[in-house]
Amino acid sequence: TFPEDKIKRSLISAVRTAESEMMQQLALNEKLFRSGIDGDKHKFDHKRMHSMFQFMKKSRQMDSNIAEMLLQATQMLSRSLEIPLEDLKRFRDFGAKWLAVTSPFCKPRLPVCDVKALYRTIDGSCNNRQHPTWGMSDRDQLRFLPPDYDDGISVPRQFGFTGTPLPSPRLISNTIHKALKSRDLRDVTDTMMVMQWGQLLDHDILDTPVMQGERKQINQATAYIDASYLYGADSETSKKLRAFKRGFLKMTKDGLFAPHEDQFNCVKKQANSYCMKSGDERLHVVPGLAAIQILMLREHNRIARILGSINKQWNDEKIYQETRKIVIAINQHITYAEYLPKILGRQTMKKFSLYSTEKGFNTVYDSSKDATISNVFGAAAFRFGHSQITHNIGMISYNNSFRSTNIEATFNKPSLLFTDNNLGTDNINRWLCQEKGGKADRFLDAGVRDKLFFDEDGKSFDLASLNIQRGRDHGIPGYNAWRNWCGLPVASHFGTGAGGLVDIDSDVAERLKHLYSDPNDIDLFTGGLSEHHVHEGRVGPTFACIIGRQFHNLKRGDRFWYENNFRKIGFTEDQLNEIKKIKLSHLICRNTNTIYMARNAFNVKSIRNPFTLCYTYDDLDFGLWKANKPRRTLKFLYPPILPMMHLLPVFG
DSSP 466: H
Spatial separation of the C-alpha atoms in residues 238 and 121, rounded to whole Å: 11
Of 221 and 381, nearer to Ca ion (C-beta) is 221
Task: Quote the least distance from Cβ 250 to ligand HEM, whole Å.
Answer: 25
Among Ca ion, ligand HEM, none, the one that 204 touches (CB under a kind-dependent 5 to 8 A) is Ca ion
* Residue 363: how many other CB atoms lie within 10 Å: 10
Closer to ligand HEM by Cβ: residue 85 or 171? 171
Nearer to Ca ion, 226 or 441 (CB): 226
Binds 228: which of Ca ion, ligand HEM, none (CB < 5-8 Å by kind)? Ca ion
Residue 502 touches which member of Ca ion, ligand HEM, none, C-beta under 5-8 Å by kind: none
Nearest CB to Ca ion, comparing residues 226 and 450: 226
Minimum CB separation from ligand HEM for residue 200, in Å? 8
State in angstroms the smallest separation of the CB of 153 from ligand HEM. Answer: 21
Element (H, E) at 402: strand 402-406
Nearer to Ca ion, 202 or 455 (CB): 202
57, 50 Cβ separation under 8 angstroms: no
Q: How far is the CB of 146 from Ca ion (least distance, A)?
A: 26
Choose among 296, 289, 196: nearest CA to 251.
296
Q: Which residue is nearest to ligand HEM (CB)?
A: 385
- CB 204 → Ca ion: shortest distance, Å? 4
- Helix boundaries (H) for 435-583: 446-449, 463-473, 479-485, 506-515, 524-529, 541-556, 573-579
Query: Can you name the residues that pair with 396 across neighbouring β-strands?
Result: 402
> Least CB distance from residue 211 to ligand HEM, whole Å?
12
Closer residue to Ca ion (CB): 221 or 522: 221
The CA–CA distances, whole Å, from 11 to 1, 26, 67, 72, 78 equal: 17, 22, 15, 11, 10
Q: How far is CA 223 from CA 94, 138, 204, 364, 423, in A?
A: 33, 10, 7, 17, 32
Nearer to ligand HEM, 386 or 430 (CB): 386
Which partner from the list Ca ion, ligand HEM, none does 556 bind, CB cut-off 5 to 8 Å by kind? none
Q: Which residue's C-beta sits nearest to Ca ion? A: 228
Tell the smallest beta-carbon distance from residue 466 to ligand HEM (Å). 4
Q: Which does 383 bind (CB under 5 to 8 A by kind): ligand HEM, Ca ion, none?
A: ligand HEM
**Residue 202 binds which of ligand HEM, Ca ion, none (CB < 5-8 A, kind-dependent):** ligand HEM
**Half-sphere exposure for 431 (CA within 13 Å, toward CB):** 25
Which residues of this chain interact with ligand HEM, rule CB under 6 A? 53-54, 195, 198-199, 202, 206-208, 285-286, 378, 382-383, 385-386, 388-389, 448, 463, 466, 470
Query: Which amino acid belongs to residue 12?
Result: I
Give the DSSP letter string of 2-62.
--HHHHHHHHHHHHHHHHHHHHHHHHHHHHHHHHT-SS-GGG--HHHHHHHHTPPPHHHHH
Of residues 276 and 381, the one with the C-beta less far from ligand HEM? 381
Shortest distance (Å) from residue 316 CB to ligand HEM: 32
For Ca ion, the binding residues (CB under 5 A) are 204, 221-222, 226, 228
Interaction partner, residue 198 (Ca ion, ligand HEM, none; CB < 5-8 Å by kind) = ligand HEM
Q: Residue 508: which of ligand HEM, Ca ion, none does it interact with, CB under 5 to 8 A by kind?
A: none
What are the start-end ranges of the H helices in 406-451?
Answer: 419-422, 424-434, 446-449
For residues 269 and 116, give the distance between their C-alpha atoms in angstroms, rounded to a whole number.
Answer: 49
Choose the contact partner of 206 out of Ca ion, ligand HEM, none; CB within 5 to 8 A by kind: ligand HEM
Q: What distances in angstroms separate CA 289 from CA 33, 202, 285, one per listed residue? A: 24, 11, 7
| Closest separation in Å from C-beta 421 to ligand HEM | 25
HEC secondary structure over 156-220 = CCCECCCCCECCCHHHHHHHHHECCCCCCCEEEEEEHHHHHHHHHHHHHHCCCCCCCCCCCCEEC
220 and 56 in contact (C-beta within 8 Å)? yes
Nearer to ligand HEM, 380 or 647 (CB): 380
